[in-house]
Amino acid sequence: MAELVSLAEGVAELVHDGDTVALEGFTHLIPVAAGQEIIRQGRRGLTLVRMTPDIVYDQLIGAGCAARLVFSWGGNPGVGSLHRFRDAVENAWPGPIEIEEHSHAGMANRYVAGASGLPFAVLRGYVGTDIAKHTTTVSTVTCPFTGEVLTAVAALNPDVAVIHAQRADRRGNVQMWGITGVQKEAVLAARRSLVTVEEIVDELDPRPDAVVLPGWVVSAVAHVPRGAHPSYAQGYYDRDNDYYQAWDPISRDREAFAKWLDEVTA
């Protein structure tokens, strides 16, 4: 059964220097508050995994938490580039960052393999592209029935997965609904997991399009209202599009970012 903890406790217990950490959330329910707590606690040398690194990963990278990034699309959706990410890749600032990139289909299947206890997954993907040239986690496999050669991707099993959900009950059962992306797979693939939630309730009443993760597959749950801001939590608050716009000038400028970082870690 998942432990109910504060966000600070959860990050302290579950996220360690050098860990492979997946913060997932596909546009919706991005665990931004948890990411900023990782910054606040000064984690270093993380391998950050995420299909769509956006503002929260720009912040983690700019703050120097990441040694490595595994991803499939890194941008500020609807706005443009992630400039802290680009500064790290293009200029090794604040330090060098190793990158391993995939397609969405590949990343999704890597999590599926991880969640399924398999060392790899099979897909039709990457063929004819230059992506596979720069990673060792894409290969091929031959169908034993037809002889067809297909693409294989290595399983992803992060040390810890961090997600944000709408609700949990007091026993740590977690419920999220709307666009739920790859979060179930990330939690089931990870050795440990931290879920931040908008609300702790007595009873999880059924909801359309809901995904429930039973408490016995979650390590800890922390009550963090607005923990997905500036992304959205369906039924709680909308996406703060202004924040995404406002992030662009902060991210573009090392000094503006340093000031932002001082405020967050103060």
Partner 1 sequence: MTWDADEIMTVTAARSLAGRTSCFVGIGLPSTAANLARRTSNPDLALIYESGAIGAKPTVLPLSIGDGELGETADAVVSVPEIFNYWLQPGRVDVGFLGAAQVDRLGNINTTVIGDYAAPAVRLPGAGGAPEIAASCRETIVIVRHRPRILVDRLAFVTSLGFGDGPGHRAALGLRGRGPIRLITDLGVLEPDPETCELTLASIHPGVTVDEVRAATGWPLAVRADLAVTAPPTPAELTALRSLTRGGSVA
Site residues (vs a second copy, CB under 8 A) = 117-124, 137, 139-146, 148, 150, 152, 154, 206-210
Q: How far is the CB of 106 from partner 1 (least distance, A)?
A: 8
Whose CA is closest to 195, among 174, 219, 221?
Answer: 221
Binding region for partner 1 (CB under 8 A) out of 57-65, 113-121, 159-167, 193-201 = 113-121
CB atoms within 10 A of CB 205: 9
Q: Is 234 in the site for partner 1 (CB under 8 A)?
A: yes
Buried-exposed string 115-138: b where 16+ CB fall within 10 A, e elsewhere: beeeebbebebbeeeeebeebebb
Quote the DSSP letter at residue 101: E
Instruction: Name which of 131 and 201 has its Cβ closer to partner 1.
Output: 131
What does the alpha-carbon distance between residue 110 and residue 151 come to, in Å, rounded to a whole number?
Answer: 12
Whose CA is closest to 148, among 117, 131, 120, 127?
Answer: 127
Q: Is 101 in the site for partner 1 (CB under 8 A)?
A: yes
Q: How far is the CB of 145 from a second copy (least distance, A)?
A: 5
- How buried is 202 (Cβ within 10 angstroms: 0-12 exposed, 13-18 middle, 19+ buried)? exposed
Instruction: Name which of 146 and 263 has its Cβ closer to a second copy.
Output: 146
Interface with partner 1 by CB under 8 A: which residues? Answer: 1, 26-28, 51-52, 71-75, 77-82, 85-86, 89-90, 101-105, 108-109, 111-112, 115-118, 123-131, 134, 148-149, 173, 178-182, 184-185, 188, 204, 209, 211-214, 216-217, 232, 234, 238-239, 241
